[in-house]
Amino acid sequence: QVQLKESGPGLVQPSQTLSLTCTVSGFSLMDYSVHWVRQPPGKGLEWMGRMKYDGDTYYNSALKSRLSISRDTSKSQVFLKMNSLQTEDTAIYYCTRDLLMDAWGQGASVTVSS
């Protein structure tokens, strides 16, 4: 059964760094890419970036200067780090599988506030 699960802090202070983990099961990170997508409260979906199955990464140009995605294949985990957080980064952060986005995590709610 394919599953993805996001984890991380619910509250981050402005200007600090957000660190999230996506733990997957039911498939290998060496066979499928994992994407990060976020959704501000009451708004639509924004694609952030992806870790390809071969280890290559690609980022949304609007976030590229602040964003880093990495992985640990032995632990089936993909990591997102984004620095210089502002209030507008408050959102639910999802990880999702593959180009099709055929499986999603339940989302991690992140609030940026002092």
101 sits near other proteins (criterion: CB under 8 A): yes
- Shortest distance, CB of residue 51 to other proteins, whole angstroms? 13
Greatest Cα-to-Cα distance within the chain, rounded to the nearest angstrom: 40
Site string for other proteins, 55-74 (x = CB under 8 A): ---xxxx-------------
CA distance 94 to 105: 6
Nearer to other proteins, 31 or 114 (CB): 31
41 sits near other proteins (criterion: CB under 8 A): no
**Which of 44, 23, 46, 42 has its CA nearest to residue 34?**
23
